[in-house]
Amino acid sequence: MAKTEKTGNPIVETIKTVVYALLIAGVFRTLFFQPFWIPSGSMKQTLLIGDFVFVNKMAYGYSYASCPSVIIPRVGINLDAKKLCGVFDGENTRLFGTQPERGDVVVFRHPISGHDYIKRLIGLPGDTIQVINAVVHINGDAAPQVPDGQFEEMMELQGPQGLRPRCANGAVGQGGICIKARAIETLPNGVSHAVLNIGAQASDRTGVYTVPEGNYFFMGDNRDNSADSRLAQTAGGVGFVPFENLIGRADRIVFSSSGRSMLFFWTWRSDRFFKAIK
């Protein structure tokens, strides 16, 4: 008579499978790549609201900020990187640390709020940064800007938060065309990227910032619509960002949707799928 093999409890086996899958996903997200959903327009045109990017966490090595945050307000879960890996915080160092390059698009942890931000790296440790008439000056030299026409988008609610874009062409009604001036900016190391301008405002003229050792200076490509290192952390900005707060480099857009939900397939931007970030 054939011997019958014993099988485990199917419910227990299912739970074990789910736990193993979560553990593998957690390790992958901590060590290799972290998904990041673009919630605001501060990096237009490089990144649009609704872009879904993969962040390379191997690019700069690892620190406490490499731990993923698990924040789900609806069910009362609030486990951020500081709570999970705060024991490694405090020395502004990284394991296998590699210095970022000027012009990198970087996801980092806000030094005070702990929220994840994504901006372009403009200033390295020891640099002086000043914005004069909307042009960035690095160590006393202007980062040249060449006019490159206009950036156009429809005036409509964007993303899950229903944000409306700001326009250089004044008040634009629903469904109208919102315009911003576009230029190509070139940084001292030769990295070129598009920057947008809406109009004259206070952030177009700043004092001189001297980036402390072990810190970095970030700006959004949508210059007039970005809370970044031009504003102090206590004034709603980013200020200088410590090395240990870097999470990784944003390398590629893997998915993009212009709608209120990624499930609205008719709002998918297929021309942005797997697009490299420059």
127 is written with which tokens?
């640099």
Q: How far is CA 81 from the centre of its chain?
A: 16
Return d(Cα 178, Cα 59) in angstroms, integer.
Answer: 36
Q: Is the peptide bond before 45 cis (omega within 30 degrees of 0)?
A: yes
HSE on the CB side for 87, CA within 13 Å? 2
Beta-bridged to residue 219, according to DSSP, are: 120
Tell me if 232 sits within 8 A of 239, measured CB to CB.
yes
Catalytic residues: 42, 119
**Rounded to an integer, what distance in angstroms lies between the CA atom of residue 19 and that of residue 23?**
6
Residues in contact with 197: Cβ distance below 8 Å, sequence separation at least 6, in sequence order: 134, 168, 180, 181, 182, 183, 223, 224
